Copies of this chain bind each other. A is one copy, B any other.
């Protein structure tokens, strides 16, 4: 399993409830692709959301995000961390 950071743009004005609902929508189906979404952070002002996940591939992360209704704009493997 590898770790991935993905970025969603254009989410200006996102609320805490909307972030939570989006994260829950991912969690509800993530097992079907062997993905686990660990954290999400949002900046409502710039409309940027960052998600950290463990997954077999970037494609698996994207399939869950797409099915949950919020395709990522960028997905990067992050093999290094501190």
**Is A19 in contact with B78, judged by CB distance below 8 angstroms?**
no
Of the stretches A28-36, A42-50, A60-68, the one at the interface is A42-50
Compute how far the CA of A7 lies from the CA of B77 in the bound complex, rounded to whole angstroms: 14
Chain B residues with CB under 8 A of A39: 81-82
**Is A40 in contact with B81, judged by CB distance below 8 angstroms?**
yes
Q: How far is the CB of A38 from chain B (nearest CB, A)?
A: 9
**Is B41 in contact with A5, judged by CB distance below 8 angstroms?**
yes
Q: What are some 9 contacts across the A-B interface (CB < 8 A)? A: A5-B41, A5-B50, A39-B81, A39-B82, A40-B81, A43-B78, A43-B80, A45-B77, A50-B50
**Can you list the 3 inter-chain pairs with the closest CB atoms, starting with the nearest?**
A41-B78, A42-B80, A43-B76
